[in-house]
Structure 1
Amino acid sequence: MNPTLRHITFDYTGEPYELARWWSDFLGRQISDTDEPGDNEVLIELPAGAPGLLFIRTGDPKKTNNRLHFALAPAGRTRSEEVERAVALGARVEAGVHATAARTVLQNQQREEMRAAMSTVLAGVTIT
């Protein structure tokens, strides 16, 4: 029998609950009932069969960009509406990155760890 992918884990030097809360709001998924602010590990539970997103506090300073990319399909919204929703949740349009009619790059409220490139059809989210 083959192993099962349980979590996609993100090391984070900040407050993992805050980063998980942003992703929870953005994805419309719940943080585990057992997690609370101040915890060193915070899990966003995804539908059965999908791995959860686990955010872990680490004291190790970040030395390079993480190389992880999610391809997300906006549901029931246009790209522009999804970008507006992400900004309303605290994301910022990333300065110095060329935005086109088909792509906008966002950062989370701490200006780190989350870069979301919203495209017309797919929203690519890169954890950096």
Structure 2
Amino acid sequence: MTSYISHTTVDCADAYALSRWWRTVLNYGEDPDDPNEPGHEECMIHSADRRHRLLFIEVPDAKQVKNRIHLDLRPADRARDAELARLTELGATVVADRRHTDGTGWVVLADPEGNEFCILRGEAELTGRPS
């Protein structure tokens, strides 16, 4: 017997606002029969194929330390640096730049509530070397 991941949960202060932000970042959708609305304490978004879901739950605690788990994003249709520019324009902040001169590496970002995630090289940039 095995288990599978039903969804990834993100603790936050404003479930609706953060779910909307990530929905834009990932081009995810929501359940039309249970739409996310301002004031909802739990908001779910999902990939187009509905195989990956993110649940945002309001908690009273503020984020205080580095995440122990985070999302690694790989741009599907653009280069890492173009996606980095898009994400910072949407409100992400750069936490650490781990890019190397040979093009490998990644950038650590934080969403509007401080949750960390990484942006890797885009699909078109991959040449068989590790990110």
Same fold (TM > 0.5): yes
Segments of 4+ moved more than 6 angstroms: none
Where does residue 67 of structure 1 map in the other structure?
A: 68
Q: Does 1:11 align with 2:14?
A: no
Change (3 A) 1:7 1:98: closer
Structure 2 counterpart of 1:6, which letter?
S
Where does residue 31 of structure 2 map in the other structure?
A: 32
**Structure 2 Cα separation of the partners of residues 98 and 48 of structure 1:** 32
Q: Count residues with an aligned counterpart.
A: 117
Deviation at 1:79, TM superposition (A): 0.5
Q: Deviations over 1:44-89 (max 9, x none)?
A: 0224462310011112454644322323321110001110110121
Which blocks of at least 5 consecutive residues in structure 1 are unaligned?
Answer: 123-128
Query: Which one has a bigger Cα radius of gyration?
Result: 2
Where does residue 107 of structure 1 map in the other structure?
A: 110
Where does residue 126 of structure 1 map in the other structure?
A: none
**Structure 2 Cα separation of the partners of residues 100 and 23 of structure 1:** 23
Structure holding more strand per residue: 1
For the residue of structure 2 that corresponds to 1:18, the secondary structure is helix
Query: What RMSD in Å do the two structures reach over aligned CA positions?
Result: 2.5
Change (3 A) 1:27 1:56: same
Deviation at 1:104, TM superposition (A): 2.3
- TM-score, normalised relative to structure 2: 0.72
Identity between Structure 1 and Structure 2 (%) = 32
**Structure 2 Cα separation of the partners of residues 79 and 51 of structure 1:** 22
